[in-house]
Amino acid sequence: MSSEVIEKGIGLARAGRFGDALKIFDQDLCFTQHPTAMSYYAVSLASTEGNFDKAISLCLMAAEKEFYNPEIYLNLGRIFLLNGQKSVAVRAFRKGLKIDGDHFGIKSEMKRLGVRRRPVLTFLPRQNPVNRLLGILAERIAP
């Protein structure tokens, strides 16, 4: 029973129906034993109630339990974005991409944000002609 409830809640949250997902998760607190569900509960909580402190701490707890799960970092990043913390969100997304470099959700969030890659030579300014040339070459070699 509880796994069906968890899957239903996760499905609703993935579809962006955070209020409905919150109702499902609240009726059976089984999400506390399921880190992915806990992260979706957290993003639902942040989206509907604006309770960012609780959402962030729940998501961080989920990340401690399943540090290898990129979906948790996707949700953590989304919570930080909702809270207006773009730089911290980008760090969470990058951590998720280290685990799974092809994670569709994280890549689409990064693309939506328009996040730049780091300069090739970090000790030179981004606008330096050498950095620009190396960046163009690096982009052509490995998109």
Q: Residue 95 class from Cβ within 10 Å (0-12 exposed, 13-18 middle, 19+ buried)?
A: middle
The string of pLDDT tens digits covering residues 45-73 is: 999 999 999 999 999 999 999 999 999 99
User: Which domains, and CATH codes, for the chain?
Assistant: 2-115 (1.25.40.10)
Q: How far is CA 109 from CA 82, 95, 96, 106, in A?
A: 13, 13, 12, 5
pLDDT at position 65 is: 94
């950095």: which residue's tokens?
131
Q: How far is CA 8 from CA 1, 14, 31, 32, 109, in A?
A: 11, 10, 11, 15, 23
- Is 139 a residue whose pLDDT tops 70? yes
